[in-house]
Amino acid sequence: MKISPDVFMLEITRGKFMYQDRACYSMVYAVREPDGITLIDTGFPGFAYGILEELRTLGQHRLPLKQILLTHADLDHMGNAAWLQEKTGCPVWISMKEKVYVTGERSRLPEKQQMCRDCGLQIPRLQFYPPDRRIGEFEILDTPGHSAGHVCILYHGILFGGDLFSITDGTLQGANPQWSEDMETARRSLESLKPYKFTMLCPAHGLPDRRRDYL
Ligand SMILES: [Zn+2]
């Protein structure tokens, strides 16, 4: 799905990940710039090859995968990052505050932890967002609550929301309480987005939608 001339929601991760007889999905977005493609999140494991295939269709030139920007360290966002990094050598960026889940200093919520174990989450080599919260044209917005170091990512008026909100049939909902660590902090994070200039919202769960008066 084309969101703007150079921003795409990949089709490959739209569905089909089965976990305990449930179909799960988590969207992956690609931003095409002259020097390569940036991925926002990487979806559930098992889609890495398909992601690379789909990226090749996005430009006439075989643009390299320049980098991966993660909103947080959950299975359905980091799922293919290690494989993609191994194949392309691209850097994988994440908030320093998500490191604790990767090192085991802090546990994810029990159900998430179980999913990571069951699915064998592979951890990429991580780089941490710099203090100025900018990676090229991407602005990194700290939006904790769903997890300790969750971020949203702003690019040319398009907001990539990770798990801070979802959108169903044009209705925005805040972070899912079942999967979020601190709902009050997540609510404040959602509020904190209001002053930013963006016209499109791209959630990990649900389809992209234009900004409405809900935010
Ligand atoms: Zn999550």
Q: Where in the chain are the domains?
A: 2-210
> Residue 60 Cα, ligand 1 centroid: separation in angstroms?
33
CA distances from 60 to 1, 6, 30, 49, 56 (A): 17, 13, 15, 19, 8
pLDDT, tens digit, for every residue of 51-72? 999 998 887 567 889 999 999 9
> Residue 212 Cα, ligand 1 centroid: separation in angstroms?
24
> Residue 107 Cα, ligand 1 centroid: separation in angstroms?
13
pLDDT of residue 213: 79
CA distances from 182 to 108, 117, 174, 188 (A): 12, 23, 12, 10
Q: Which residues surround ligand 1, an ion (CB under 5 A)?
A: 74, 163
CATH class in words for 2-210: alpha beta
> Residue 193 Cα, ligand 1 centroid: separation in angstroms?
18
The pTM is what? Answer: 0.95
> Residue 87 Cα, ligand 1 centroid: separation in angstroms?
25
> Residue 62 Cα, ligand 1 centroid: separation in angstroms?
31
pLDDT, tens digit, for every residue of 108-159? 998 888 988 888 899 999 999 999 999 999 999 999 999 999 999 999 999 9
